[in-house]
Amino acid sequence: MQEKIKSRQIKANNSQDFPETFALRNIMKNITALTVLVIIVCAFSSKIYASGQEKKYAFSFGPQFGFVHGQAHELVYPTDTKAELLSELLWDMKPVFYLGAKADFGLRDVMDKPGFFASFNFKAGIPADSGIIENRDWMSVENSALTHFSSHENHTNEFLQIDIDAGASFPVKSYFYIKPFINFSWMRFSFTGKNGYGKYARAKGNGSFSPIDENPAKMVFSGNVIRYEQNWLLLSQGVSVGTDYLSLIFHSR
């Protein structure tokens, strides 16, 4: 698994007085984990089949559309602060609609005999506002109290996903089939946070902060504030078990 961040830029009306700029500059030195939680809740496809009736294998291709509903996460773990996390960013994708295409090649009847199969799946999100982005930091070396918080409108610039599966199918008598396979997946997320507000605990020096509700520094933002990208490259193995009417898929990544 590879994770990449290409850009994370902060803008404010007065960058010298922007506490988040300092916080993010330090956070970027200690990124140790990224997570993505995106749930595909709706997908529709229409397939065109190409194969003679006498052939054992068939090829299908068709468009698809649907939407994803979930969040992209960035988690930053601390090295010398007290909280469990140093920083957490939550980017809403609630929802992001997509268009795409899907192609499949395999046996017409998987219950007939062992065989091979392959599939290609492509999704491209439609850029749109998709909820909010929230940023939380825990910068204190004394305790685990929240020190920085900001919330902005989130615009999903890009959502791209490519999945390629290849494997073999084996019927188990006339009851069910097993399909072990290898999956290659590439995903790209790109967001822009805009407008919004932030509040920041006042620094007391030496890594100490006043409670965030005690006269915090407050800011109101306008325009583009933060830009962010995630690129994921995943290789996994899995198995699909099913019948003519029902299929269950299990992945190991």
Number of domains in the chain: 1
CATH number of the domain within which 128 lies: 2.40.128.90
Q: Between 13 and 51, whose confidence is greater? A: 51
Taking only the tens place, the pLDDT of each residue in 173-195 is: 878 899 999 999 999 999 999 99
Contact 144, 84 (CB under 8 A): yes
Taking only the tens place, the pLDDT of each residue in 87-101 is: 999 999 999 999 999
Confidence grade of residue 23 (pLDDT, cut at 50, 70, 90): very low
Burial grade of 147 (CB within 10 A; 0-12, 13-18, 19 or more) = buried
pLDDT of residue 24: 40
Phi, psi of 13 (to 5 degrees): -65, -30
DSSP state of 81: S
Domain of residue 70 covers 2-252
Q: What is the mean pLDDT of residues 152-168?
A: 97
Q: Between 17 and 227, whose confidence is greater? A: 227
pLDDT of residue 253: 52
Burial grade of 160 (CB within 10 A; 0-12, 13-18, 19 or more) = middle
Taking only the tens place, the pLDDT of each residue in 119-139 is: 999 999 999 999 999 999 999
Report DSSP letters for 184-203, one per residue.
EEEEEEEEEEEEEEEEEPPE
pTM of the model: 0.75
Phi, psi of 220 (to 5 degrees): -115, 130
